[in-house]
Amino acid sequence: MRFSIAFVSWLLPATALATSNSRVLKRANDTDYVLKKGPLDTPWTEKVGTNPWPEYPRPQLQRSDWKNLNGVWRYKNASAGDDKSPPSGVVLPEPVLVPFCLESALSGVMGSHNIWSWYQTTFDVPSSWTAGNRVILNFGAVDYEATVFINGNQTTFHRGGYWSFNVDVTDYLSANGTNELLVFVYDPTDKDNIQIPLGKQTLDPSHIFYTPCSGIWQTVWLESTPVEHVTQLDLSADMNGEVNMTVHTSSNSSTLVQITIYEPHSTDIKATARGRTNGAFQFNVESPKLWSPSSPTLYNITVKVGSDTIQSYIGFRTISHGVINGVNRPLLNGEFIFLFGTLDQGFWPDGIYTPPSREAMIFDLQTLKNVGYNMLRKHIKVETALFYQACDELGLMLIQDMPSLRPSVPVGPALGDCQVKTQPVANAESQAEFDRQLAILIEQHKSYPSIITWVIYNEGWGQAHDRTHPEFQLTDLVRSLDPTRLIDSVTGWFDFGAGDFHDNHHYPDPQCGTPWYSIQSTPYDYKRIAFQGEFGGIGHNVSEDHLWKVQKAINEINGTYEIDANLDVWNERAHFLLSELRGQIEKYDCSGAVWTQTTDVEGEVNGMLTYDRRLNRMDQVQWKRDIQALYDTAAARAANSTTVMQMADTLEGL
């Protein structure tokens, strides 16, 4: 809508106004945006249009006055140091569709090596917004560094590709009229072997590393807030109805907070409470319905501080671990719950890191939920707030990985003796930055009920494992920031005993809490929860229609752990592997597992769904039955006290 007028005049910033020389520039024709033809699309690609992701972007801290800035912006490939001279007032040459990263077809740029970039748009502040209020500019995520200019003035700088940030731009707005927003982005990805949190992104995609995402990749928006306003809400609510809340505000004052909790999907009030800002306070809600995957009850809440009113929600549940009949188990609301999920990478052929739409994002989640998965391992990526809200609402538990640094050891079976192989990992500077961003992950996501576990390191990527074992200190850090969840300190390979899980990766067959191990794994440590952080990964090649049409990726398809001749064989193999897992649950101490993976990604063809989401490989009746059998077996095993202690005795003897 903002761009339906082809020519919009805009005013130059303060400098120009001050000299009463308000040059009026002609705005470029924004209808030059064209959806690029990428290597593969999805059923949603064509439906995106130029008003993408219109949803309110921050469900746990909602205000009524807001304005979405997504849409067609201007873009220019830049160079190092260009941020010293922002091209203010000069219309940038190319269109880009925000919030799709520069490598994506949906962005309309589909570039590569987008190391330095300029983004530009204009906005005005709705006249209906209360005079005297502050105007806050919010970014969902920009990969990797962003320097933000309003009307030519730098307002903020942010580092870290996965985190939301905002800036109070009130003092930079033009007195009357349209404002120019420029964002300078630097994203090295893995250029010159730099070590930054980046997950599976690489400038040179191959096999299990994929097309990178550079620039703005989540919603950009404005909101109007009172001068004294809530900046962050920390919410946790447990199975006993105890709510622990911290209401951070723009000042450090201690002022009254008034809370109203509503009955689910109703205007009836369940409870009210009071507290004070900028410090934790607790209150009790009588007999709440608890949150669980089978009954994901949420309660809407209103938080009032002065003239600021926030809508949010909470879910009551407790995550812990305990010994049930001699076995260390993850507990949800005091009871053992077997965790079964997919490795969920969150890549899209049309949007790369950004799903084409909320509907598309929900489609993946619903596909998993339909066959009985109760969990997802969000793999070395962080998603939009709307993703976490969707998991809260659908009842999907999340194991949330910290986005990894670049792997510094050979990956896969070539690893060899995992205890010995050491290569340079993070240096002191990149380690400090990793640690800083890990804390942000926890701080920004600790209020979602669906998240049950944090993962610090994946398969040793970026993990120092020769002399130092940073995962012990980092486990303490995460525990101090969030004592309400479990910590899977290292998922796969370089395990020296930190955290709550003994987490093994093994392909294709599982080795979950078993009294045997092999080259890629370590002997089961029964003092922690036995978990299979990755297994399965069996593949099935498809016709070119469903493939990422990049020759290098196609050539690497046979690097997938296993390729099955056809879908019947693939389903048969899945049945076999799930039966094997079930056997390990029955006989040994397995408490959960992660099947690789939700979808194909580029040259990997081992998804429940193909990369384009057009083919669901699962024999759904069979998968549903096999997954239910895992839960049933786990429940029976947990209730059986006969063999368990013997198992511990056996392991003690190892």
Ligand X SMILES: *[C@@H]1O[C@H](CO)[C@@H](O)[C@H](O)[C@H]1NC(C)=O
Q: Is 636 in the site for ligand X (CB under 6 A)?
A: yes
The one-letter amino acid code at 396 reads L
Q: Is 114 in the site for ligand X (CB under 6 A)?
A: yes
Between 184 and 493, CB nearer to ligand X? 184
Q: Is 268 in the site for ligand X (CB under 6 A)?
A: no
Scanning 42-50, 361-369, 557-565, 626-634 for contacts with ligand X by CB under 6 A, the matching segment is 557-565
Of 616, 614, 607, the closest CA to residue 546 belongs to 614
Q: Is 234 in the site for ligand X (CB under 6 A)?
A: yes
Q: Is 518 in the site for ligand X (CB under 6 A)?
A: no
**Token pair listed for 502:** 């003994």
291: which strand partners? 296
Closest separation between CB of residue 191 and ligand X, Å? 10
Q: Which of 5, 26, 31, 496 binds ligand X (CB under 6 A)?
A: 31
DSSP one-letter code for 414: G
Of 339, 648, 639, the closest CA to residue 515 belongs to 648
Between 212 and 403, CB nearer to ligand X? 212
Q: Is 430 in the site for ligand X (CB under 6 A)?
A: no
Q: Is 433 in the site for ligand X (CB under 6 A)?
A: no
Between 478 and 594, CB nearer to ligand X? 478
**Token pair listed for 99:** 């919030």
Strand, helix or coil at 391? Answer: helix
Closest separation between CB of residue 111 and ligand X, Å? 2
DSSP one-letter code for 383: -
Chain residues 187-206 in contact with ligand X, contact rule CB under 6 A: none
Q: Is 6 in the site for ligand X (CB under 6 A)?
A: yes
DSSP one-letter code for 315: -
Helix (H) or strand (E) holding 154: strand 153-159
Q: Is 128 in the site for ligand X (CB under 6 A)?
A: no
Residue of this chain nearest to ligand X (CB atom): 111
Between 84 and 265, CB nearer to ligand X? 265
Scanning 49-57, 331-339, 394-402, 540-548 for contacts with ligand X by CB under 6 A, the matching segment is 540-548
Of 242, 271, 278, 274, the closest CA to residue 258 belongs to 274
Q: Which of 427, 473, 640, 650 binds ligand X (CB under 6 A)?
A: 640
Handedness of CA 495, 537, 384, 351 (dihedral sign): positive
CA dist 154 and 143 (Å) reads 18
Is there a contact between 99 and 75 (Cβ–Cβ < 8 Å)? no
CA dist 513 and 355 (Å) reads 36
Between 272 and 640, CB nearer to ligand X? 640
Chain residues 11-30 in contact with ligand X, contact rule CB under 6 A: 14-15, 29
Q: How far are the Cα atoms of 260, 362, 377, 387, 451 from residue 359, in angstroms, in the given order?
A: 30, 5, 20, 11, 21
Q: Is 272 in the site for ligand X (CB under 6 A)?
A: no
Q: Is 113 in the site for ligand X (CB under 6 A)?
A: yes
Helix boundaries (H) for 494-589: 551-555, 567-587
Residues contacting residue 258 through CB under 8 Å, at least 6 positions apart? 272, 273, 274, 303, 304, 305
Of 430, 356, 404, the closest CA to residue 162 belongs to 404
Between 193 and 551, CB nearer to ligand X? 551
Closest separation between CB of residue 589 and ligand X, Å? 13
Pattern 357-396, ligand X, x by CB under 6 A: ----------------------------------------
Between 415 and 481, CB nearer to ligand X? 481
Q: Which of 49, 264, 279, 322 binds ligand X (CB under 6 A)?
A: 264
CA dist 294 and 116 (Å) reads 46
Closest separation between CB of residue 615 and ligand X, Å? 13
Q: Is 554 in the site for ligand X (CB under 6 A)?
A: yes
Between 257 and 547, CB nearer to ligand X? 547
CA dist 40 and 542 (Å) reads 13
Q: Is 557 in the site for ligand X (CB under 6 A)?
A: yes
Closest separation between CB of residue 474 and ligand X, Å? 18
Angle, CA 485 vertex, CA 479 and CA 487 arms, to 5°: 65
- Strands 66-68, 220-225: pairing is antiparallel
DSSP one-letter code for 380: S
CA dist 149 and 180 (Å) reads 8
Q: Which of 128, 642, 652, 653 binds ligand X (CB under 6 A)?
A: 642
Q: Which of 298, 361, 574, 585 binds ligand X (CB under 6 A)?
A: 298
Q: Which of 9, 244, 260, 444 binds ligand X (CB under 6 A)?
A: 244
Q: Is 251 in the site for ligand X (CB under 6 A)?
A: yes
**Token pair listed for 355:** 């799903």
CA dist 101 and 355 (Å) reads 11
Q: Which of 167, 573, 643, 648 binds ligand X (CB under 6 A)?
A: 643
Count the helix, strand and coil residues of the chain and give each as a percent rounded to the nearest 5: 20, 30, 50
Q: Is 276 in the site for ligand X (CB under 6 A)?
A: no
How many other CB atoms are found less than 10 A from the CB of residue 565? 9
Q: Which of 282, 423, 468, 628 binds ligand X (CB under 6 A)?
A: 282
Q: Is 316 in the site for ligand X (CB under 6 A)?
A: no
Is there a contact between 149 and 87 (Cβ–Cβ < 8 Å)? no
Q: Which of 206, 541, 616, 620 binds ligand X (CB under 6 A)?
A: 541
CA dist 404 and 411 (Å) reads 14
Between 193 and 543, CB nearer to ligand X? 543
Scanning 171-179, 190-198, 418-426, 452-460 for contacts with ligand X by CB under 6 A, the matching segment is 171-179
CA dist 291 and 271 (Å) reads 17
Strand, helix or coil at 536? Answer: strand
Q: Which of 23, 32, 284, 370 binds ligand X (CB under 6 A)?
A: 32
**Token pair listed for 552:** 């290098």
Between 417 and 544, CB nearer to ligand X? 544
Q: Is 9 in the site for ligand X (CB under 6 A)?
A: no
Count residues contacting ligand X (CB under 6 A)? Answer: 42
Binding site for ligand X (CB under 6 A): 6, 14-15, 29, 31-32, 77, 109, 111-114, 127, 153, 171-172, 176-177, 234, 244, 246, 251-252, 264-265, 280, 282, 298, 300, 541, 543-544, 547, 554-555, 557-558, 563, 636, 640, 642-643
